[in-house]
A and B are shown apart, each in its own frame.
Chain A
């Protein structure tokens, strides 16, 4: 119901530029996720859009209306921006019960009492809190408080919904449930959602488009979740979106070699030129076989750690000094007799790989 136009926005705290000429377009009606490590400035951007703080430079437009433009001294206060917001710590008012919390935006808008009641109840129903209207926040679980915050943000039917890590404090099951709920609400209501998180799983699951920021507040890649996940612009994004294995490969003539292994590479063919490359792959991209001395079966490796995680087996494998993680479906391991123990030799193949130029060290895999 609203697009957001952010052009050249700068925000300074003291000497530090948190955002430096930052630009971003968010389309009408999409669920857009801003993904980045903590401290990258994504929450600051959200606060600038909401109007809690003024930018030091640049322009912010919501739905074609300029809401912040320091050059002309324009700063629309948050209450006039027509948005809903859900905070990381819920920010449910402890002295008001569920109904009063949800009804408050409508009350401020001087909604007619019968309409107010009907719309409040509809919002409470929408988030599945019917029957709890008279409860105080202290009598609710974290997940329920989160829903109150969501209902409160949705009830005025805002053109734009800002969500700041709203699922962070929830346990895994609830987080999944709420994720589906937010997604289905967005489809039902058609509201534009800007979602801020550092959790790549939520980001991939919920978004129509994702933007990835780095720790310096720069935008690294924007695109559909599949696009960003499958075709990361660089190794930062690749590493940020999940457990990342990185294996340096060197080109010699026509053939490719992994350092320390005499047999040539038989894995996926690089789509990049250059003599020094790095193959990036997820644990689930790894295929394992028993070592029968046949180099065509894959790279030789040694299992350093084997853990059974229920649905899958998790292996840590040493390939000529480079450690990688492999995740295989547990039933497949059982059926094909691929249960390795520490010290077992194995052969490693890759189903697919991302190629990056240069040699990139494998960090943070273990």
Chain B
């Protein structure tokens, strides 16, 4: 399109896109690989293996594998079961239940972990103390500082990945498939085993792989619950290496080797998921919704309902209430009676303490700027990838795929390597380094939302503008941008909301005055300031949930108008 013989708009946009992706994604990644494999001026695989065989690295790798596998199994079971329950049975209040099961997606897992620590830590946990002090138990009924504890907590927050995929597939499945099996004489158990499960298997697997990907790269829960008993996974060990050893060469190398393993594992999982999805595109699961046949639960109807409510109360209401209650305690450990409660913690955090006020301000402004920058960069890059015919586009497409498979802690590490003065620019300990990392971290969301929107804009719409006398810039401004605005809005919120509660990236990058909300909650907890940590977590929950609701309203209003 346009001028191919001169350096025109097309070439400019292409160069800009490549420039952005190289600076924020490719250079940090390359530096990680370089640091991992290049030792004393040589390419050295043997030394990478030596690092991997060191006790703590080896153990962290095993832990990551074990924990993420565990979470994947439990999360998939829980997600599939509830998905079936709300789509295929006559459970009461199914629509409401379905929404409730999605709530854990809104809540940051590390805040949940914090709550469970307050409830179930072996000595100080409220539930454990309740059983020991009042019912006379000898020891804690459950120790949350354990593999089982970590797996349980992560499961509570990650099962919606499977829940969403499977309930979607079950709703879109043509009921005549099951009905015809029934007419052929199969009983319900046989139908479920022979027809239903094979049909939704791709959705189950795809959701399970998402859980695995997320869990493997997850920092917060393991950091909160594992540190006490020395359970490290890859992201938490990277954090330890970077923070505790104050940037010694050896620890940075170990971190880069771990990061490399993480990237390879993530890329493998994404590849696997792609294959599962492309094989699983059965014609049988249509795009439209059917009214599926419902299993009558009969005598099980009420017990199942009670079970669901109990699950929701236990995994959503209890931890959330705990956060707010502990946040209102005069001192951590006191019983929840009115003379121990105070509003002062909240007041102090919101209006008096610089550390927490800075953190809120940092998170909000970082989230806004990162969302804006990434949204615009994403629209430009998607435009070049989806719409333009320029040489070297394949390279850009490859660069555009990178952010999808790079976990947060890897990005943070890469950004440290790239922007700590190596190229004459030192952003370390400033908010800018977090901003750069956020742009890299959330570029994938922006590319996804914007390219989906751009696919809808037919080429002839732009050509019609050109034929009407519009230059390429005018056509972009008058036709393309207005038409992809919904995609850009989606990208903005897909970035802004997660950025508000982000911990994995910023915990590796924060400096004395550049804590984010997530970092502040985490470090306050580490320092034993449990009540302040809980109070700030409570405030964060209010901000996050309000934001989610406002945006849902906004989007719903937009669609109806």
Nearest CB of A to B561, in Å? 13
A108 touches B458 (CB 8 A): no
Within 8 Å CB of A108, what residues of B?
468-470, 474
A345 at the interface (CB under 8 A from B): no
Contact A89/B458 with A78-B467, A83-B467 known, Cβ cut-off 8 Å: yes
Q: Main SS of the interface on chain B?
A: helix
Within 8 Å CB of A153, what residues of B?
467
B460 touches A89 (CB 8 A): yes
CA distance A92 to B3 in the complex (A): 24
Contact A85/B469 with A54-B4, A94-B483 known, Cβ cut-off 8 Å: no
Select which of A73, A84, A149 is within 8 A of B5 by beta carbon.
A73
A156 at the interface (CB under 8 A from B): yes
**Once A and B bind, how many residue pairs between them come within 8 Å at the CB atom?**
72
Residue interface bits A92-107, CB-to-B below 8 A is 1, else 0 = 1111000000001100
B463 touches A77 (CB 8 A): no
CA distance A79 to B4 in the complex (A): 15
A236 at the interface (CB under 8 A from B): no
B465 at the interface (CB under 8 A from A): yes
Chain B: residues with Cβ within 8 Å of the partner, total of 23
B466 at the interface (CB under 8 A from A): yes
B424 at the interface (CB under 8 A from A): no
Within 8 Å CB of A105, what residues of B?
468-469
A24 at the interface (CB under 8 A from B): no
B313 at the interface (CB under 8 A from A): no
A75 touches B4 (CB 8 A): yes
CA distance A77 to B466 in the complex (A): 8
A257 at the interface (CB under 8 A from B): no
Within 8 Å CB of B1, what residues of A?
52-53
Within 8 Å CB of B472, what residues of A?
77
B470 touches A79 (CB 8 A): yes
Residue interface bits A70-93, CB-to-B below 8 A is 1, else 0 = 000101011100011101110111
A104 touches B465 (CB 8 A): yes
B467 touches A50 (CB 8 A): yes
Nearest CB of B to A113, in Å? 17
Contact A152/B5 with A91-B458, A95-B483 known, Cβ cut-off 8 Å: no
B464 touches A79 (CB 8 A): no
Residue of A nearest to B463 (CB): A52
CA distance A54 to B2 in the complex (A): 8
Within 8 Å CB of A273, what residues of B?
none
Select which of B5, B460, B469, B478 is within 8 A of A79 by beta carbon.
B469
Nearest CB of B to A4, in Å? 15
Residue of B nearest to A88 (CB): B460
CA distance A92 to B461 in the complex (A): 7
B20 at the interface (CB under 8 A from A): no
Q: Name the interface residues of B112-148: CB closer than 8 Å to any CB of A.
A: none
Contact A77/B464 with A93-B479, A108-B474 known, Cβ cut-off 8 Å: no
B464 touches A91 (CB 8 A): yes
B41 at the interface (CB under 8 A from A): no
A75 touches B467 (CB 8 A): no
A311 at the interface (CB under 8 A from B): no
Closest 6 CB pairs of A and B: A91-B460, A105-B468, A91-B464, A85-B467, A78-B466, A108-B469
Residues of A within 8 A of B (CB): 50-54, 73, 75, 77-79, 83-85, 87-89, 91-95, 104-105, 108-109, 149, 152-153, 156, 162
Residues of B within 8 A of A (CB): 1-5, 458, 460-461, 463-472, 474, 478-479, 482-483
Known pairs A53-B1, A78-B466 / 14 extra A-B pairs, C-beta < 8 Å: A51-B466, A52-B1, A73-B5, A79-B468, A79-B469, A84-B468, A85-B463, A85-B467, A87-B464, A88-B460, A93-B465, A93-B483, A104-B468, A156-B468
Subset of 6 A-B contacts with CB under 8 Å = A78-B463, A91-B458, A91-B463, A108-B470, A108-B474, A149-B464
